[in-house]
């Protein structure tokens, strides 16, 4: 880790994945987004050049792992390398959605642990700190040899649902692995918790067999860290209605929305889908069916705390944010 300069200054730069989110963060911080030249050679290689001095600065690079994921990861690594070679004081990678997070362990022989590989690549590139939002699994933090600030959008999403003044609600975890996450969400809403018994016969395919808990006559909120194709959510909705749910909402931090996910969700029996803007939604969607909440104020607050060397534990716990 490089030495801290005595004349600290903050600089914010954006990758190409979600510049709109970076602009919102900059507005909250009251600073300008730094200028970067980005281009591609004809063979697809990425070129990045910072158009202003970063020497001795605390630099925050915002890059989420949206489609095309591999291009955005490579661009982030190149930006970190450029900052290191330009003598930046501290290099902070703010990654709202951490790529390859679902490949965090070996379930069978001869499989990779790609979430660890990504962490290694960031370290080798020269990052000093990583800031992430709602990792698919918290142990991914241990893949890094640099500090990781893991914050959560749960309070922001919970505040929205409190504004709906739902009575007789229940929070539903879509699988056993998401119980802890859903439990935190349910406590913030003061709702009971139910769990779906989901099995994965193959990657990307899920089957729901049972509902553990009482959902009859209740307003159910399915809560997860991400929504990809939407197929599992729609299957969960039908299962909940089959068990007597009155209404069903879905909420998640990361709107991956692969393929026809937007269409699938909008044509489902869901009342509403609530997500954060950790990823840009590149397809047209009905704002009355899909509600996008901004986490820019949360990320700006995190940047301020990191820059001023203050504790971010309350952000990790998801307390006192809203």
CB of 81 closer than 8 Å to CB of 126:
yes
187 DSSP 8-state letter? H
**What is the total residue count of the chain?**
322
Within a 10 A sphere around the Cβ of 296, how many other Cβ atoms?
22
Asked if 214 and 194 count as a contact pair (C-beta separation under 8 A), the reply is yes
CA dihedral 12, 15, 17, 21 (to 10 degrees): 10
- Nearest CA to 3 out of 90, 78, 77, 86 is that of 90
**At 73, phi and psi to the nearest 5?**
-65, -45
What is the layout of strands, in order, in the sheet containing 290-293? Answer: 205-212, 193-202, 169-173, 219-227, 247-255, 273-276, 290-293
| Distance, CA of 242 to chain centre | 31
CA distance 128 to 145: 9
3-state helix, strand, coil in the chain (%, to 5): 35, 25, 40
How far apart are the C-alpha atoms of 316 and 49, rounded to whole Å? 33
| Options 198, 218, 242, 246, the catalytic residue | 198
How many whole angstroms separate alpha carbon 157 and alpha carbon 173? 15
> What beta strand segments (E) does the chain contain?
10-14, 36-40, 46-50, 58-62, 90-95, 129-133, 148-151, 169-173, 193-202, 205-212, 219-227, 247-255, 273-276, 290-293
198 catalytic? Reply is yes
Active site residues: 198
């Amino acid at each position: 880790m490089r030495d801290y300069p005595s004349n600290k200054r903050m600089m914010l730069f954006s990758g190409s994945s979600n510049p709109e989110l970076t602009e919102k963060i900059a507005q909250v911080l009251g600073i300008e987004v730094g200028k970067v030249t980005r281009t591609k050679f004809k063979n697809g290689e990425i070129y990045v050049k910072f158009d202003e001095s970063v020497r001795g600065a605390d630099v925050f690079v915002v890059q989420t792992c949206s489609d095309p994921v591999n291009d955005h990861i490579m661009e982030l690594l190149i930006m970190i390398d450029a900052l290191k070679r330009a003598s930046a004081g501290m290099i902070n990678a703010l990654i709202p959605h951490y790529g390859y997070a679902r490949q965090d362990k070996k379930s069978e022989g001869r499989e990779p642990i790609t979430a660890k590989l990504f962490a290694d690549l960031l370290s080798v590139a020269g990052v000093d700190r990583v800031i992430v939002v709602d990792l698919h699994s918290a142990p991914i933090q241990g893949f890094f040899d640099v500090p990781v600030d893991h914050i959560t959008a749960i309070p922001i999403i919970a505040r929205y649902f409190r504004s709906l003044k739902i009575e007789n609600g229940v929070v539903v975890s879509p699988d056993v692995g998401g119980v802890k996450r859903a439990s935190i969400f349910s406590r913030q809403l003061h709702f009971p918790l139910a769990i779906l018994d989901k099995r994965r016969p193959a990657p990307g395919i899920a089957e729901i067999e049972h509902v553990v808990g009482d959902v009859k006559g209740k307003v159910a909120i399915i809560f997860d860290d991400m929504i990809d194709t939407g197929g599992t959510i729609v299957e969960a909705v039908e299962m909940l209605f089959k068990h007597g749910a009155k209404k069903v909402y879905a909420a998640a931090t990361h709107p991956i929305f692969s393929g026809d996910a937007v269409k699938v969700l909008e044509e489902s029996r869901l009342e509403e889908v609530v997500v954060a803007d950790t990823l840009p939604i590149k397809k047209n969607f009905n704002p009355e069916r899909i509600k996008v909440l901004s986490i820019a104020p949360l990320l700006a607050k995190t940047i301020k705390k990191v820059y001023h060397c203050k504790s971010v534990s309350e952000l990790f716990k998801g307390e006192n944010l809203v």
